[in-house]
Amino acid sequence: MRPYRSDFLVFGSPLILEEDILEVVDTLRSGWIGSGPKVLRFEELFRQFIGTRYAVAVNSCTAALSLALEIVGIQPGDEVITTALTFPATVNVIEHHGAYPVFADVDRATATISPDEIEKRIGPRTKAIIPVHLAGYPCEMDTIMKIARAHGLFVIEDAAHALEAKYRGHRTGTLGDFGAFSFYPTKSLTTGEGGMLVTNQEAWADKARIMRLHGISSDAWARYSEAGFSHYETILPGYKYNMTDLQAALGIHQLDRLEHNHRHRETLWELYNAGLSGIPGLTLPSQHLEEGTVHARHLYTIYVDPEEAGITRDELMVRLKEMRVGTGVHYTAVHLHKYYREKYGYKRGDLPNTEWISDRTLSLPLAAKMTTSDAEYVIEAVRYALSQT
């Protein structure tokens, strides 16, 4: 092992370029920093990129998921089926609507929700399914949509990891009734905080636009801009979920660089595949992709088998940190988190594949900002850490 690097390789550090900074500065100088023309421009560019009829910018993916649940009419006592191998927000939003999260186990190979397990959990109160394209690997959407349509269920795709992914030629987030995207700092496009709700239904998009800003009839840009003054009234008790022009400005030019950055992460991914193969106790991410299916390459997740590797996932994390490499865990199973464990009595053994992955998964840094020599350093560090057991 060469000497440890001096600078810490931050996990998921965003790549912000001069054009992004200039666009933000332009907004600051424009006199309009709230929700206005830049949000409209960002929405239109995003809509063109993703290919849905409507795109509604909000202040987080969590807000997008929550709006979608509200719009499809989720009520207290309803059930929503999702995965426990996700960020807690996916599940928390179900609770916010008084509904019950019902967890379906994942496929061991892909870490995405298993359509068979979904089907087993459908009951008279089931209203919706939230599949998560974990790490950027598309869920089995054809089967999920077939099940949903047969049972009259809505499908809201959590596409927070899947901005660049395609399932059988179609972009993820466009296959269900709604798609929700995140622009959190570690995501492949960031607005600091932000999110996007996409759909092909005009009435749903209209409702989302009203609900994201207090449920009032016209937004501030329409009220105070030169277009003229108009009174507003409350149509629905809405939320404070709007994106600002400052956030949109940061995102606008990143859209142009998505494909380029994706290709770069693909290169890093291939380096990891080659450099990390054949290590006892280490399982690399599933490489299988159907024709027309594209992995977003958001996370490179390895599974550490403590017996065979002679080290636990958590110990490997600590060692990599000592070697100046930041890593992440995506995710620890949400059904075993305190609130969900205590409220619903979930226990180990309920979701065997989810728990197996939860115990072993480790995400190595995979970001547009990284160089190929950063990736080579990570490979060396992983190999070194595992040789010292």
The catalytic residue positions are 187
Using CB under 6 A, which of the segments 9-17, 54-62, 114-122, 305-313 binds ligand PLP? 54-62
- C-beta of 197 vs 382, nearer to ligand PLP: 197
Residue 224, CA atoms < 13 Å, CB-side half-sphere: 10
Cβ closer to ligand PLP: 86 or 110? 86
Q: CA nearest 309: which of 330, 279, 331?
A: 279
The least CB distance from residue 351 to ligand PLP, in Å, is 17
160 sits near ligand PLP (criterion: CB under 6 A): yes
Count of beta carbons in the 10 Å neighbourhood of residue 26: 12
CB of 281 to ligand PLP, least distance (A): 27
Token pair recorded at residue 36: 């206005």
Backbone angles phi, psi at 141, to 5 degrees: -70, -35
Q: Of 127, 161, 214, 319, which one interacts with ligand PLP (CB under 6 A)?
A: 161
Would you say 157 or 385 has its CB closer to ligand PLP? 157
Distance set, CA 291 to CA 54, 136, 146, 167 (Å): 27, 16, 20, 9
11 vs 184, beta carbon nearer ligand PLP: 184
Q: Which of 182, 244, 247, 361 binds ligand PLP (CB under 6 A)?
A: 182
* Residue closer to ligand PLP (CB basis): 90 or 172: 90
Answer yes or no whether residue 135 interacts with ligand PLP by CB under 6 A: no
Q: Should residue 319 be labelled a site residue for ligand PLP when binding is judged by CB under 6 A?
A: no
Cβ contact 249:39 at 8 Å: no
Site residues for ligand PLP, window 192-221 (CB under 6 A)?
195
Task: Give the burial string for 210-246 (b: 16+ CB within 10 Å, else e).
Answer: bbbbbbbeebebeeeeeeeeeeeeeeeebbebbbbbb
**What contacts 8, CB < 8 A, 6 or more positions away?**
324, 325, 326
CB of 233 to ligand PLP, least distance (A): 29
Which residues, at least 6 apart from 96, have a Cβ–Cβ distance to it below 8 Å? Answer: 66, 69
In the complex, least distance from residue 1 CB atom to ligand PLP, rounded to whole angstroms: 32
Q: What is the 3-state secondary structure (H, E, C) of 320-380?
A: HHHCCECCECCCCCHHHCHHHHHHHCCCCCCCHHHHHHHHHEEEECCCCCCCHHHHHHHHH
Q: Which residues contact 256 (CB under 8 A, 6 or more apart)?
A: none
CB of 185 to ligand PLP, least distance (A): 9
Q: Which of 158, 164, 177, 219 binds ligand PLP (CB under 6 A)?
A: 158
Q: Which stretch binds ligand PLP (CB under 6 A): 25-33, 153-161, 237-245, 362-370?
A: 153-161
Among 55, 61, 118, 271, binds ligand PLP (CB under 6 A): 61
Show contacts with ligand PLP in window 75-104 (CB under 6 A): 86-87, 89-90
Among 58-66, 73-81, 266-274, 338-346, the segment contacting ligand PLP (CB under 6 A): 58-66
244 in contact with ligand PLP (CB under 6 A): no
CA-CA distances (angstroms) from residue 371 to 267, 270, 341, 375, 382? 10, 13, 41, 7, 17
List, in order, residues 6 or more apart from 136 with CB less than 8 Å away.
161, 162, 164, 165, 295, 296, 297, 298, 299
Number of residues that bind ligand PLP (CB under 6 A): 14
Shortest approach of ligand PLP to residue 248 CB, angstroms?
14
Residue 62 interacting with ligand PLP (CB under 6 A): yes
User: Binder to ligand PLP among 42, 46, 184, 340 (CB under 6 A)?
Assistant: 184
Residue numbers of the site for ligand PLP (CB under 6 A)? 60-62, 86-87, 89-90, 132, 158, 160-161, 182, 184, 195
